[in-house]
Amino acid sequence: MAKMTLEALRALREEKKSALNKRDVEGKTAQIVVGMGTCGIAAGAKGALDGFLAAIDEYKLDNVAVTQTGCMGLCYVEPTVEVIVEGMPNVIYGKVDAEVAKKIVKDHVMHKQMVSEHVFDRPAADIFNGGGK
């Protein structure tokens, strides 16, 4: 490795700062939680995560947080992703790849329209809050 200059260090810092900002949930109106359990990773969750990050960069969204979690218990439809958007019910999408990730960002996060063919479940928290109905 060649000697890193202070300018290169500064650029790297800015790059990392932007990546960290995407993980910060504070003050964001939408949150995308990617299931990165072993089952999710084996099914390609890393591709989905990269797809979300790329789409957020492409559409220049600064109000969306992307975080990771473990297995959501829906291993049969991995990779799974929970999408939490203000004014919409929390939704778990299944079989999400980079292409679906982009569609979720565009339709669900930006235009508040669910991507019906990939909706698999609502989070357990909703079920408990609703008394199991």
Partner 1 sequence: MHESICDFLLDIIQNAIEARSSVITIIVEDTSDSFTCKVIDNGKGMSESELERIRDPFYTDGVKHTKRKVGLGIPFLEQAVSMSDGDSSIESVKGEGTTITFSFPFDHIDTPPIGNIPSTFFAAMTYPGDFEMHIHYAISRDSGADGYELHRNELIDILGDLSMSQSLILLRDFIRSQDEDLEELRKNR
* Sheet of strand 119-121: strand arrangement: 64-69, 30-35, 81-85, 91-93, 119-121
Which is nearer to partner 1, 9 or 25 (by Cβ)? 9
Amino acid at 77: V
Spatial separation of the C-alpha atoms in residues 88 and 49, rounded to whole Å: 21
Which is nearer to partner 1, 10 or 112 (by Cβ)? 10
Q: How far is the CB of 21 from partner 1 (least distance, A)?
A: 11
Spatial separation of the C-alpha atoms in residues 31 and 22, rounded to whole Å: 10
For the record, the structure tokens of 122 come out as 């609502």
Which is nearer to partner 1, 20 or 133 (by Cβ)? 20
Q: How far is the CB of 67 from partner 1 (least distance, A)?
A: 16
Q: What kind and span of H or E run contains 123?
A: none
Size of the site for partner 1 (CB under 8 A): 11
Looking at residues 1 to 30 of the shown chain, list those that interact with partner 1 (rule: CB under 8 A). Answer: 1-4, 6, 9-10, 12-13, 16, 20
Q: How far is the CB of 12 from partner 1 (least distance, A)?
A: 6
Using a 10 angstrom Cβ sphere, with 0-12 exposed, 13-18 middle and 19 or more buried, the burial of residue 110 is middle
Which is nearer to partner 1, 3 or 111 (by Cβ)? 3
The footprint of partner 1 (CB under 8 A) covers: 1-4, 6, 9-10, 12-13, 16, 20
